[in-house]
Amino acid sequence: MLHIKRLSKSFGKRQVLQDLTLHVRPGEIYGLLGPNGAGKTTTINILCNLVKEDRGEITINKQPVSEATKSLIGVAPQENLLYKSLTCAENLDFFARIYGLSKQQRWEQVQVCLEAVNLVDRAKSPVETLSGGMKRRLNIAVALVHLPKLVILDEPTTGLDIEARYEIWELIRNLKKQGITVLLTTHLLDEAERLCDKIGIIKDGRIVVEGSLSALRELIPAQEVVVVQTRDEESAIARGKQLGFTHRRYGNDLAFWLPEPLELKEIIACFDGIAVDAIARSPVRLEHIYVEVTQG
Amino acid sequence: MKYWRETLAVAQRILIELLRRRRSLVFWTIFPVSILIINGFIVAERAQLSMAEAFEYAAPSTLVGAALFFSCLGGSVATVVAEREQQTLKRLFISPLSGTSYFLGIFVAHTCIGIGQTLLVYTIAAFWGAKFQGSILLGGVIILLSIISYVGVGFVLGTQFARRTEDVNALVAAFGVPLLILGGAFVPSFVFPKTLLDIAKFNPVYHMVKALSGVSDEGKKFADIELHFWFLYVFAILMVVAGWLSYRRMLSVERRL
Ligand SMILES: Nc1ncnc2c1ncn2[C@@H]1O[C@H](COP(=O)(O)OP(=O)(O)OP(=O)(O)O)[C@@H](O)[C@H]1O
Ligand SMILES: [Mg+2]
């Protein structure tokens, strides 16, 4: 569906993208993750033909990026870009018209999209009267109205409460069910964990790792991550070393990678003689992989 | 076909937005009506004219000077700035909408408003017995050229100078009011001292007013207003080019998400 090969772009002396390569298969939800300034939005700009690449090959549905591929893509930008005094239906209808849908198609698509984002009963409400979550959903609906093959969602749930976030996740899963390919950027690792079939982590303008969540888990030689709360961290780290546990810091937390799964009492026994206040266990999560890849 | 469809979509959207907000529409109705009536009565009293003659005199300058200036220039600045401010322009960039259709859409929407104001001003003037003396076709062309010029200037100001909606009023007042006064929109230009009149000759508003008054009030033929007409014509073309260039320049700066 989307193939990017050795894409490079610099602004002045600043190299933003360096030989970025990624492939998104039809019907897949691809999560593009990376720290601020890694080049995610720049990549999207190039896909939308807003910024010209310096080098590289990009094809969308087998066509090179051009004005003509704009209709293949639906973008829900990071901010809600909507006409505030127009109603939900009018916003959708306007963009459908710009994309060249006939009157009949427009009428149908406006209904379909309103239903998809659960805003049918607000069809005639001006955008300025909607809640944050509703605006966000309409922002996504606008990206869907012209029946694009590839939908790009730039941080779709940033700034939403958990209920609204669940609704958007549900919506994204429904897109997948309809066979729409989704490219998603996010800072929320649990969001990527829940939704994405494939994850690419971008750092300094290149994809450093790419794969399904289970494939990415292989990158960390651990069965489990154990966070240890103690006043005597030095002893805990020394003990970990003796036992062959790699240690890491996740924010303030001191954590150890367990190469083999252990029972809770075995874990407690490992730190015997050290003043431990609490122990928390978790499987290897995207957070751990992300930190490893972007900070390593 | 593509251009036409897109142009209509943009124009219709702008008109719906204006209808929703109402404030601008109310202002664009009240302003020309009050200026027309005030001008009409002053001219009737001072120049000792009949009411019909006074309103024939007042109508064209009220229309192209005052009314169209605020609706077409001020209005298109406001449209472009609002679109930049709520960033919907970015959404248009990622769509297949062409810049030409966008410009034409803004032009068509404000032309509709301009036509509405033309009908309003001349209907009210007719109420006092005023008539359109010359060729209505020629008058229409002059009005259209004025609208094109104003929208062109609006595009330049909206894309280059005004960043927020608050800037619009300041800009329009700073550029506009002196130009309008110097163009004879409020005070007839025959009262101007000679130096002022020499300056006024470089003012496009002056030529719009002169050309339309010539046709509408004095029933002049094309040959009699040729100079004013060509000045306006060239100015309109220049403003469309300038508007287009400013739009391109804005694109190169803002065309990204
Ligand atoms: N037009 C531009 N001119 C100069 N530098 C730019 C331009 N656009 C982006 N950059 C730089 O490119 C780098 C990557 O920016 P980009 O917006 O792609 O990052 P991002 O991954 O989207 O980050 P975030 O998560 O903060 O949105 C940044 O350092 C930014 O300053
Ligand atoms: Mg970004």
pLDDT tens digits, A64-79: 998 889 999 999 998 8
Q: How far is B165 from chain A (nearest CA, A)?
A: 14
Q: Residue A78: CB within 6 Å of ligand 1?
A: no
Strand order in the sheet with A2-11: A14-24, A2-11, A55-60, A63-64
Contact B208, B232 (CB under 8 A): yes
Q: Where are the domains of chain B?
A: 2-256
Residue nearest to atom 8 of ligand 1 (CA): A42
Distance between CA B124 and CA A15 in Å, rounded?
Answer: 64
Point out the residues of chain B with pLDDT beneath 70.
none
Q: Which CATH class for the A224-295 domain?
A: alpha beta
Q: Which ligand minimizes its atom distance to the CA of A39?
A: 1
Give the per-residue pLDDT at B221.
87
CB atoms A75 and B96 under 8 Å: no
Q: How far is the CA of A244 from the centre of ligand 1 (A)?
A: 41
- Which residue has a Cα nearest atom 26 of ligand 1? A36
Distance (Å, whole) CA A84 – CA B83? 10
Q: Model-level pTM?
A: 0.87
Hey, whose CA ends up nearest to atom 25 of ligand 1?
A36
pLDDT of residue B220: 84
pLDDT of amino acid B248: 86
> Phi first, then psi: what are they for A226, rounded to 5°?
-120, 125
Regarding the beta carbon of A213 and ligand 1, being less than 6 Å apart is answered: no
> Atom 30, ligand 1: which residue's CA is nearest?
A37
User: Does residue A36's CB lie within 6 angstroms of at least one atom of ligand 1?
Assistant: yes
| B249's tokens | 């320049």
Strand, helix or coil at B207?
Answer: helix
Q: B257, A78: Cβ pair inside 8 Å?
A: yes
Phi, psi of B53 (to 5 degrees): -65, -40
C-alpha A15: how far from chain center:
23
Query: Rounded to a whole number, what is the distance in Å from the CA of B160 to chain A's nearest CA?
Result: 20
Helix (H) or strand (E) holding A276: strand A276-282
Specify the pLDDT at position A296. Answer: 65
Alpha-carbon distance B93 to nearest alpha carbon in chain A (angstroms): 7
**Hey, where are the domains in chain A?**
2-212, 224-295
User: In 10 A of CB A18, how many CB atoms?
Assistant: 15
User: Chain B interface, mutation test: which of A11, A32, A42, A50, most B Cβ atoms within 10 Å?
Assistant: A50
Cβ-contact A162, A132 below 8 angstroms: no
Minimum-distance CB partner of A85 among B9, B21, B256: B21
How far is Cα A254 from Cα A226, in angstroms, rounded to an integer? 8
CB contact under 8 A, A83 and B86: yes
Ligand 1 centroid distance, CA of A205 (Å): 10
Secondary structure of residue B93 in the 3-state scheme: helix
Partner-chain contact B9 A70, CB within 8 Å: no
Q: Are A45 and A17 in contact (CB under 8 A)?
A: no
The interface predicted TM-score of the complex, written ipTM, equals 0.87
Domain A2-212 has CATH 3.40.50.300: yes
Contacts of A97 in chain B (CB under 8 A): 5-6, 9
Burial bucket for residue B137 (CB in 10 Å: 0-12, 13-18, 19+) = exposed
Task: Encode pLDDT of A248-260 as tens digits.
Answer: 888 888 888 888 8
Cβ contact (<8 Å) for A75 and B13? Answer: no
B251 burial (CB, 10 Å; 0-12 / 13-18 / 19+) is middle
Q: Whose CA is nearest to atom 5 of ligand 1?
A: A11
CB < 8 Å to A148, chain B: none
The span from the CA of A86 to the CA of A1, in Å, is 34
Strands across the sheet containing A276-282: A246-250, A253-258, A224-230, A276-282
Beta bridge partners of A248: A255
Contact list, B90 vs chain A (CB under 8 Å): 77, 81
A259-284: pLDDT as tens digits: 888 888 888 888 888 888 888 888 88
The ligand with the least distance to the CA atom of A20 is 1
Cβ–Cβ gap A84/B92 under 8 Å = no
Residues of chain A with pLDDT > 70: what percent?
100
Residues 6+ apart with CB under 8 A from A285: A189, A193, A225
Predicted confidence band of residue A224 (pLDDT cuts 50, 70, 90) = confident
Average pLDDT of chain A?
90
Residue pairs between chains A and B whose CB atoms are closer than 8 Å = 71
